[in-house]
Structure 1
Amino acid sequence: MEYQAVIMAGGRGSRMPDLTASVPKALLPVGNRPLVWYPVNMLDKAGFESVIIVTFDSVKRDLVQALQSSAGELLIRLEVVTIPSDEDWGTAESLRFIRDKIKTDVLVISCDLITDIELHLLADVHRTYDASVTVLMHTLPDQSTEGGIYVPGSKSKRKIEQRDIIGLDEKGGRILLLAAQADIEEDLTLRKSVFKRYPFIQVKTRLMDAHMYILKKWVLDFLADNKVGRTYSTIKGELIPYLVRKQFSRPKTGQLVPQPNSMEPEGAQQDKDIASYGGLDELTKTARTMSSWNEHMGDMSDYYQHGDTLRCHTHIMENGFCIRANTVAAYCEANRQITQHRQILGDDPLIHPTATIKTKSQVGQDSMLGEGTTVCEKVSIKRSIIGKHCTVGDKVKIINSVIMDHVNISEGCTIQGSIVCGNTHIGEGVEMKDCLVGSSQNVPPRAKYSSEVIGNADRMMEI
């Protein structure tokens, strides 16, 4: 087994609290499947035999049940590891928590990532450059960077959130700089040694970290050993930027290569330098220079010349589908586009066999109906996802919306560009545009809403 796969499903969905107030982020429906199903399905199709899913104690039961009911013909074995529900751990802390389960290099994926990437493309980069970390990035679409998109519950268009500033070498594969725009107060700074070695640096602002990483096993060892002196809470926000900065560092004088099972006092663990990890013993170094294990006289000659052991690389996904459903806007976009990507969604029909559509109703080919849903007469549904066990009354129009499970929409309603969370009842004649309705709401008849959040006051979303 070359890589172990880990899915991080312990996020609280703090950027979309009205959606995650009653449904854990990992179980939010996209295309009538829970979010976490998409990375599980991707790993299964890629041939992985097992995956570790890290989630909260309180979520485990529902997560396992949701995956079992949505799994279909998946063959991959699921190992669900729980972290305390009252802890606010980041992805790096969760990865540290499962260190003892990781025996090889590790492929880490966020549960909110939906993509059709062929995983071997990322693995090929990792192998070719013997990278310490390989990051999947994708190019932002024009609508996210320029025009923005309407967000349900918002009065105006939402621009893309804070970008990353990414510096790449001339070939566009090695990461030389990674910084969040919000963290840069004045000017960007790089070491002179980096400029001397890479006089041409591409600076990108339209690349998004997809939250899929391949990490060397020794990176996880470093993360676990340095839990006292240095705090790395998140992989993307803290660990990866640190690795990028430390690429050209050298071990401190007298620094020993740490042993995985050493019994050093806790205080001593914090002083170990990243440059002392991942080093090769003299025998391995000699063997590699004498073998054809890779092109040490070709593309890798620069690494050999400078003795690099810490290398951060990226695979940039230029084409295909790649989106993180980690905000309300991204969640809407994922649902809007998912019906166009059947290779991701699977072979199930867009209209479930148990769904009922009565006479003179129209359901567009870009829409979905979930299990047990009833669509009454003279209904029009376009570019929308309707969940399980919903009832859509006579003469209802639903356009460009997401309707979750167990929603009852009464006669004569018009719903456009909105999200309606589960177990909600919408009265007769309601008109709703660009709204977000929280779970278990009762919307009064003939009410009219535009760009509003309809929910409990103590859970109102910040726009």
Structure 2
Amino acid sequence: MLAQQAVLLVGGLSNKLFPLTSPSTPKALLNVGNQPLISFPVKLLEEGGIKDIFLICPGESIASKIHTWTKSYSGHAHLEVRCVPEDKDSADALRSVVPELKGKAFILISGDLVGDVSVKAISISHFINSALITAVLVPRRLSPASTTKPGKAPKNVDYVGLDPKHRQLLFFKSSPESRQDVLRLPPNAVQTLGQLEIRTDFTDVHLYIFDRQTVTELLDHRPQMTSIKQDLVPYMVNHQRRLQQLLSPLQPAGSLSPVQSAKDSTTISDSLPPAPNLLAHPVMGVDAVLSGSIPSIPCHAYMAAKDCYCARANNLHAYADVNREVVASVHADRLLDAKLNAKHGNYVHEGVQLGSKTTVASACMVGRGSSLGDKCSVKRSVLGANCRLGGNVKIINSVLMDGVIVDDGCHVQNSIVCNGAHLQERCSLKDTAVGPDYVVTEGSEHREATLAKSRLASF
């Protein structure tokens, strides 16, 4: 039976997305392609046949806002909003809902994931391989956050160990903040297959299918696990060989009585390190043996198809990229609830007012109620609802959120401008982020800047 439940980690305020997020607009409600970010993972799960989705929110304020958003949701999945303390990390958030999960497996997904990868295909692959975990991997995008000098290890990347066929995940370590000079590999991973590729050109996009009982046991017996990506996933991947070696002597499954199985399970548990471990609870060993469901590929690497789109809007650079990419024609039909203007290849709402000699290039989006003055030019950009552009304004490779005012003669390139901001006449922005309701003074020039009223707390 395929997974029918999912846990969606909503997220809240983020330093990586400063100054975009605010108490009134948490990350999940930032617009991507002029629709709330949270709508993308919800739609992905619904299309994959998921019937129940737990939306885990940090703090009551964000939970209240997400609950309000669910009232406008018209899909078929059942959405249930859950609140956890703001200082809890992802594994603790998962602990809050694990007792209510049912079935053999469940899906966990990040609330900032935008994509059209097939959840149903991932789920089928998970069960075919009898996996304890299936992690979705996509080719890593080059970004300033991972760039280093020649000869130096990349930063902010995932170190992924794969078998030669790229089906089994044999090693996993993430380096979100600092460069890793030394990697310690589990010997069993190399000894078992003889070959192990350590790759940094793949990214774990925080979309997993977990064996429910395995995760329940680990979270229950290892309270020191606080992060799913930093603690839970690496532990499962890097200990899988020991698990198989300990279970294999007990086969064939049908040859043991329940009493014998319980006794052997206790022996197995005692043979592991003193810290709580995967078989710390005897019942887990009994069920695995009696059912004959010993994993053939315990940690499965699911490689997203090349024609799929899958990316996380989890920092400023990624947020800007995802906005521009989702309106590109190759992905938009699958990702957006918008109607393409076939003549111009763009998404300009029918109520938008365009001035004389104003052009909106292909792969651009302009939201409802917006108006553009004379001689404006918009290229590779997304404009939200109720934006107002004066005359001779140029917008290139940028995102303007709802209600932005841009006066005459302004130039905006590679920038993000948040809700209600006002760019006065002849402003020039390049590689700049402007916070909500911020006023950029007349004639000013800004390069690689962050303009905001105040820095907000992060989740």
TM-score range with shorter-chain normalisation?
0.7 to 0.9
- Shift of the 179–282 alpha-carbon distance from structure 1 to 2, 3 Å rule, reads closer
The CA RMSD over aligned residues, in Å, is 3.0
Q: Deviations over 1:122-166 (max 9, x none)?
A: 11221111101110011114x4499969xxxxxxxxx97421221
Tell me if 1:32 matches 2:34: yes
CA contact (8 A) 1:39 1:111 kept: yes
- Shift of the 100–257 alpha-carbon distance from structure 1 to 2, 3 Å rule, reads farther
Match of residue 277, structure 2, among 257, 273, 277: 273
- Shift of the 183–359 alpha-carbon distance from structure 1 to 2, 3 Å rule, reads closer
Give distance in 1, aligned partners of 2:309 and 2:170: 26
Superposition pairs of residues 348-359 of structure 1, within 5 angstroms: 348-349=338-339, 350-359=347-356
Tell me how far 1:279 sits from its aligned partner: 2.8
Give distance in 1, aligned partners of 2:419 and 2:303: 37
Tell me how far 1:276 sits from its aligned partner: 4.7
What is the match of residue 325 of structure 2? 337
Unmatched tracts of structure 1, length 5 or more: 150-158, 259-269, 289-303
Tell me if 1:60 matches 2:63: yes
CA contact (8 A) 1:169 1:175 kept: yes
- Shift of the 160–455 alpha-carbon distance from structure 1 to 2, 3 Å rule, reads farther
Tell me how far 1:24 sits from its aligned partner: 0.8
Secondary structure (helix, strand or coil) at the match of 1:214 reads strand
CA contact (8 A) 2:146 2:156 kept: no
Tell me how far 1:208 sits from its aligned partner: 0.4
What is the match of residue 446 of structure 1? 443
Q: Aligned letter for 1:115?
A: G
CA contact (8 A) 2:19 2:455 kept: no
Q: Aligned letter for 2:379?
A: K
- Shift of the 440–212 alpha-carbon distance from structure 1 to 2, 3 Å rule, reads same
Give distance in 1, aligned partners of 2:373 and 2:76: 38
- Shift of the 225–380 alpha-carbon distance from structure 1 to 2, 3 Å rule, reads same
Match of residue 231, structure 1, among 224, 231, 236: 224
What is the match of residue 115 of structure 1? 115
- Shift of the 283–436 alpha-carbon distance from structure 1 to 2, 3 Å rule, reads closer
What is the match of residue 316 of structure 1? 303
CA contact (8 A) 2:134 2:208 kept: yes
Tell me how far 1:418 sits from its aligned partner: 0.7
Match of residue 210, structure 1, among 205, 214, 223: 205
Give distance in 1, aligned partners of 2:304 and 2:107: 17
Tell me how far 1:366 sits from its aligned partner: 1.3
What is the match of residue 156 of structure 1? none
Q: Aligned letter for 1:429?
A: R
- Shift of the 50–352 alpha-carbon distance from structure 1 to 2, 3 Å rule, reads farther
Secondary structure (helix, strand or coil) at the match of 2:80 reads strand
- Shift of the 61–356 alpha-carbon distance from structure 1 to 2, 3 Å rule, reads farther
Identity %: 28
What is the match of residue 152 of structure 1? none
Q: Deviations over 1:317-356 (max 9, x none)?
A: 2512111111111111101211011133334232223332
Structure 1 runs of 4+ aligned residues shifted over 4 Å read 145-149, 181-185, 250-255, 280-283, 307-310, 457-461
What is the match of residue 300 of structure 1? none
CA contact (8 A) 1:243 1:310 kept: no
What is the match of residue 41 of structure 1? 43
CA contact (8 A) 1:247 1:310 kept: no
- Shift of the 33–215 alpha-carbon distance from structure 1 to 2, 3 Å rule, reads same
Comparing 242-251 with 414-423, greater Cα deviation is found at 242-251
CA contact (8 A) 1:407 1:423 kept: yes
TM-score, reference length from structure 1: 0.81
CA contact (8 A) 1:52 1:78 kept: yes
Tell me how far 1:365 sits from its aligned partner: 2.1
Q: Aligned letter for 2:285?
A: G
CA contact (8 A) 1:429 1:445 kept: yes
Q: Aligned letter for 1:5?
A: A
Secondary structure (helix, strand or coil) at the match of 2:224 reads coil
- Shift of the 344–231 alpha-carbon distance from structure 1 to 2, 3 Å rule, reads farther
CA contact (8 A) 2:146 2:154 kept: no
Tell me how far 1:420 sits from its aligned partner: 0.5
What is the match of residue 376 of structure 1? 373
Give distance in 1, aligned partners of 2:78 and 2:155: 36
Tell me how far 1:308 sits from its aligned partner: 5.6
Give distance in 2, aligned partners of 1:430 and 1:367: 22
Unmatched tracts of structure 2, length 5 or more: 248-262, 269-273, 340-346
Tell me if 1:366 matches 2:363: yes
Superposition pairs of residues 266-305 of structure 1, within 5 angstroms: 272-276=276-280, 278-281=284-287, 284-285=290-291, 288=292
CA contact (8 A) 2:397 2:413 kept: yes
What is the match of residue 402 of structure 2? 405
Give distance in 1, aligned partners of 2:406 and 2:65: 26
Secondary structure (helix, strand or coil) at the match of 2:15 reads coil
What is the match of residue 262 of structure 1? none
TM-score, reference length from structure 2: 0.82
